[in-house]
Structure formats: structure tokens, C-alpha cells
Amino acid sequence: METTIAAIATAPGMGAVGMIRVSGPDAFARVSDCLQGGRRVERMKERYATLTKVVDTQGLVLDEVLVTCFHGPRSYTGEDTVEIACHGGVLVMRRVLERLLDVGVQPAGAGEFSQRAFLNGKMDLTQAEAVMDLISAQTELAMRAAHEQLQGTLGDASESIREDILGIAAHIEAYIDFPDEDIDTDTGAALLGRIRSVGSKIQKLLQTAEQGRILREGVRTVIFGSPNAGKSSLLNRLLGYDRAIVSDIEGTTRDTVEEVLNLQGIPVRLIDTAGMRQSEDRIEQQGVKRTRDQLETADLILEVVDGTQPRVIHLSDEEIGRRHHIVVINKADLELHADWSNVAGVKISCTEEVGLDTLINTIAHELSMGAGEWGGHAVAINTRHQACLKRAKVALEAAEFTLEDGQGAEFISVELREAMELIGEIAGRIDTEELLGEIFSSFCIGK
């Protein structure tokens, strides 16, 4: 028997209104217990806000509220649900919630409403995850991707892959019943083709992992270079206000300065750093060490150079590694040094505000998130989806190998079944409670 749960669903703090959500088999009865004059929620008009009062055990009014009831399964969780809109004071909300807990309602855990929605078949796991993505989205693009996922785009895509594999497995398993019959060459080739085409569908989804991570976490972008190159000037220009101190003294920036920027809808975490140079100053040395540390975890390095100066190489190809790297040739308002004539980079001037749009487009392009490049994608997977897909791909490749090797149908079938199970996990075809608990515990309370 499911319990009835309640939580404050609006953000903590003061507001004009705040909402308490109650869900479970006894939601109507328990809320009714707290209403003035014993008003019965189940008699209220469904999905209409009813003005009433929450009272304490003595009949004293705790708050005048609007109560809306949703009869299961036509509710977010699929259970009977009541939404109580209170005056949004911290104390008022807490008192109303405590009153509900006093009559036997349980406090909801993080993500418990969404978990129930999932368990009651109201949404698949990718949609439940999308709810959290939507809440935490910081840019339009992140919001759009979350919306797509909430519509079930990723769930549908993974289900279609699962069905493809099921089709292939069914075909192959037909041979298991006839052990004397081998898979003939033509059929084998056709099946191989089908397995490979599923593999490329998986690969396509996997390719959206980086975009997914960028949308959810932001791109860690380190502004790096020699002292006085104009790193802090660039940070300020990109942000549109004077965040960091700019001066013609080398070594102005000592500590790292971090700000979040919405760059064409892409969340970018911009990190301005201390200029790279040998210094006797202990504080500056610390700063340079921090710069190095930031580089380690960077997704994108904006290497700012003073275009009037000769080229100094701070970073080897190895140090850049798999990170995105853009050379930004600053001070293009002045005469540039000949060293830069053959270097691929974006020429800008922070003082004259030239070339910044080009730089922004270059960044978007580099991250494969330019309007034309990413706009068409409907999904951006998260790390959980990525892990399932990667493992499914390995299982599928094993099936491919086994088939090519001419081994028996039963071996191929085992591998295909495994791939199917892994793909199924994306939309939530899993029955381990532990795993579900882990996924939903990252949600916020009230969702």
C-alpha cells in the first residue's frame, strides 16, 4: 500500500504564493481533515481552485488557501493529488505542512513525486529526468532540449532501437529451434546489415553526449595566456560589464575569476586566470599554479595573445589534448607582429570592440553548437544514457562478431538480448529499486 506524501513544491523563501503538493491514496481524506468545517476535498470540483481555510486542531485558521484536486490517474503522479496554494510565507507554509504531517501524511523525499509518476507509467525515465533538466536549465537552448526530452523524443528513439534489436533477435532465435539448420550466407549478410544499422543509430545518439553535458553543466572555458595579453579585458567584454580588474601592470589578475555567460543559448562558465610567467612573487606563483589547475579541467581554452608581441608557446599539443582550443589574437587595433600572420586565430580588439561576434560564432562552431549544427538535433543525452548506450554498443558489436564468425544462433541471441536490456534501461525498463532511488534522489523535494 502506497503512503500519502506531501512537500512544499515551491522554492524555499518568501513569495506571494507557495504551493504544497499532496499525493497518495489518502490525499483527499487527509487534506480534508485539515480544512475548516470539515470540507471534503473529494466533493470539490476536480481541477478547479476552491477557496477554503486550513485550520489547526483547535479550529484556528492557519491560512486561507486555494485547493485544487486531481483524481488519479489524471494527475502528475497518477495518484489522487491535492495542490494547496498558500500565502507564500516561510512560517505559514511550514505550519500547513506540519498540520498535514500531524494527520498522518509522510514527508516526501527528493524526487518522490516524479518517481511515483514514473512507477505509475505517467512518464518514462528520460521524461522524469527531463523534468529536472527543465527546472535547472539556465539558457534557452538547455530549456529547449529538456522540453524535447520531456515530450519523449529520447524515450521514443531508444524504444525504436530496442525494437529493431528485438526484430533481429526474433529472426535469429528462430534458428535456435532448428539446430540442424545454419544461418545461410544471404540471411547472415542481411542480419549483419541490420545489426550495423542499429549500431550507427546508437552512435548518433552517443554523439549528442557532449552537447548534453554542455547544456546541463556549462562549458568550462579557461581564458589563458601571457600577462597583459588582455584576458581580463576579454572576460569583461564577453560579460558586458567590468567584472575583473584591467590594468597595464603585468600580473594584475592573481586569483581566478569565474562567471557564467549565456553565449547564444550555450551556458558557458568563463574563467579568467593569472597570466603565465615566471615570477618571484609568491602570490603570483600561486596564481599561476591555479591557472594550470584550471587548464586540467577545461573543456575549452581561449588562448589570448597580445598580437603586437612575438609569439610565445605556453601550451604543447599534448597539454591541449582533447580540449577545444581557440587562439584569440588581441589588440588588433594596433599593428600586429609578423609572427601572427600565419597563425589560425580570431583577431579581436577588446578596446575597440572588434571581432567579438566572430569569436562568439567561432566558439559555438567549435563546440558544434552553432545554430545550424545543433539546432536540428532533438536529443542531448546525459551521462546515464551515455553509459547504457556505450555498453549496448559493445554487446551489439559482440553479436556482430559472433555472427560473422559463424557461431550458433544461441550465442548471438544472448548478446542481442543484453544489448536490448541495456537500451531498455534508458527509458527505465529496470527493476532494481536501488538504481531508481539513486536516480531520483538527485531531484529536488516537491518534484
Ligand X SMILES: Nc1nc2c(ncn2[C@@H]2O[C@H](COP(=O)(O)OP(=O)(O)OP(=O)(O)O)[C@@H](O)[C@H]2O)c(=O)[nH]1
Q: Which residues bind ligand X (CB under 6 A)?
A: 227-233, 246-248, 250-253, 274-275, 330-331, 333-334, 349-351
Whichever of 263 and 274 has its CB closer to ligand X, that residue is 274
Residue 227 Cβ vs ligand X, minimum distance, rounded to whole Å: 4
Residue type, 238: L
Q: In what order do the strands lie in the sheet with 346-347?
A: 257-263, 266-272, 219-225, 300-306, 324-330, 346-347
Residue 252 Cβ vs Mg ion, minimum distance, rounded to whole Å: 5
Of these, 81, 236, 253, 294, which contacts Mg ion (CB under 5 A)?
253
Residue 89 Cβ vs ligand X, minimum distance, rounded to whole Å: 46
Single out the segment in contact with Mg ion by CB under 5 A; choices: 132-140, 154-162, 226-234, 279-287.
226-234
Can you read off the three cell numbers belonging to residue 216? 546541463
The C-alpha atoms of residue 153 and residue 379 are separated, in whole angstroms, by 7
Please tell me whether residue 438 adopts helix, strand or coil conformation.
Answer: helix
Round to the nearest angstrom and report the end-to-end CA distance of the chain.
21
Residue 260 Cβ vs ligand X, minimum distance, rounded to whole Å: 19
Determine, following the binding rule CB under 5 A, whether residue 232 of this chain makes contact with Mg ion: yes
Whichever of 71 and 277 has its CB closer to ligand X, that residue is 277
Whichever of 6 and 329 has its CB closer to ligand X, that residue is 329
Residue 226 Cβ vs ligand X, minimum distance, rounded to whole Å: 7
With CB under 5 to 8 Å by kind, the binding choice for 270 among ligand X, Mg ion, none is none
Residue 253 Cβ vs ligand X, minimum distance, rounded to whole Å: 3
User: How many chain residues are in contact with Mg ion, going by CB under 5 A?
Assistant: 4
Can you read off the three cell numbers belonging to residue 171? 529472426
The C-alpha atoms of residue 403 and residue 173 are separated, in whole angstroms, by 12
Tell me if 285 sits within 8 A of 311, measured CB to CB: no
Place of cell 481555510: 53
Whichever of 259 and 397 has its CB closer to Mg ion, that residue is 259
Tell me if 67 sits within 8 A of 35, measured CB to CB: yes
Whichever of 9 and 363 has its CB closer to ligand X, that residue is 363
Whichever of 10 and 252 has its CB closer to Mg ion, that residue is 252
Backbone angles phi, psi at 109, to 5 degrees: -85, 175
Q: Which of 415, 28, 367 is nearest to 209 (CA)?
A: 367
Sign of the CA dihedral with 210 first, then 215, 216, and 219 last:
positive
Residue 213 Cβ vs ligand X, minimum distance, rounded to whole Å: 28
With CB under 5 to 8 Å by kind, the binding choice for 229 among Mg ion, ligand X, none is ligand X
Whichever of 78 and 225 has its CB closer to Mg ion, that residue is 225
The Cα angle at residue 366 between residues 270 and 208, in degrees rounded to 5: 95
| Binding-site ranges for Mg ion (CB under 5 A) | 231-232, 252-253
